[in-house]
Amino acid sequence: MKFDIYKIADNYKLTETERQVLEYILKNSDSVLNKGVREVANTNYTSAATVIKLSKKMGYTGYTDMVYRLNFIIENNKKNQEHTSEITSFIADIDKESIEKFVSTLIKHKNDIIFITATGFSAPIAEFFWRKMLVLGFKCIKTNSYGVYDNNQIGGALVIGISKSGETESITKVIDYAAANKLDIITFTGKPLNQMEKQSTLHFSILDDKELDDRNITANYFYARVMIVMEYLLDKVINKI
């Protein structure tokens, strides 16, 4: 299991040594249950006092309380991961070739400018995707501005478009401009055989169980599915990198 303790280290103002000890405990959560504070300290070339100070900083009563509580959290996370397959079962319908092409395309453009475009109910998905891409080190710009795509003065190399219908004019126009400028295009839509798909170099058709509900009055899980697919695909990219 991977751990990202950036915010924890920042919130508790951990020193570099304390951060190292915490990472060690998290990565060895089972074995440290049988290790004393001095053994953990020696393994990390520090003192028992430092390890105990770390536990106090994080709000635990001491070393033993810290390792048992952290182990409990990790075991709970593992159990939660077992349910992930239920949530992501529909991903099995996406062919492996498309997944591999997505991974290779993003790796290809790792150092290029990537545009993300969406509007309406899809806009928050684009916002999430944009922020996630930035955190992962990609150079992303979220914009629907025709001018950006028309002349491509910024020098973008890839555009990612999201639309439930795949026919929203403000987005299809952007995609048309991107195609004219020979950018790689990845699209996520619900309705198959749409305008955005025709211009795409890679297209993902995500199940839209309410195709005739244009105003999204009733429950529609298309947007949630897009986010799940994106998380899944980006995880594949990071593992490959």
pLDDT at 207: 82
The number of domains in the chain is: 2
Which helix (H) or strand (E) covers residue 156, if one does?
Answer: strand 156-163
| Domain identity same for 31 and 110 | no
The structure tokens 């979220």 sit at: 142
Q: What are phi and psi of 194, to 5 degrees?
A: -115, 175
Q: Is residue 41 part of a domain?
A: yes
Decide which of 82, 100, 122 is a domain's last residue.
82
Q: Is residue 163 part of a domain?
A: yes
d(CA 149, CA 138): 19
Three-state DSSP class for residue 33: helix
| Domain identity same for 225 and 200 | yes
Decide which of 34, 62, 82 is a domain's last residue.
82
d(CA 71, CA 31): 10
12: domain CATH number is 1.10.10.10
Q: Is residue 1 part of a domain?
A: no
d(CA 135, CA 80): 24
Provide block-wise average pLDDT over 10 residues at a time, the chain (241 residues): 74 90 92 94 95 93 92 77 62 88 95 94 94 94 91 91 90 93 94 86 86 70 90 91 81
| Domain identity same for 132 and 145 | yes
| Domain identity same for 55 and 140 | no
167: domain CATH number is 3.40.50.10490
| Domain identity same for 193 and 97 | yes
| Domain identity same for 71 and 157 | no
- Which domain does 125 fall in, by range? 86-240
Q: Is residue 117 part of a domain?
A: yes
Decide which of 82, 97, 126 is a domain's last residue.
82
Q: Is residue 29 part of a domain?
A: yes
pLDDT at 165: 86
| Domain identity same for 19 and 100 | no
pLDDT at 178: 93
| Domain identity same for 47 and 160 | no
| Domain identity same for 76 and 92 | no
Q: Which residues pair with 205 in a beta bridge?
A: 189
The structure tokens 């998380």 sit at: 231
| Domain identity same for 95 and 179 | yes
Contact status, residue 183 vs residue 195, Cβ threshold 8 Å: no
| Domain identity same for 192 and 103 | yes
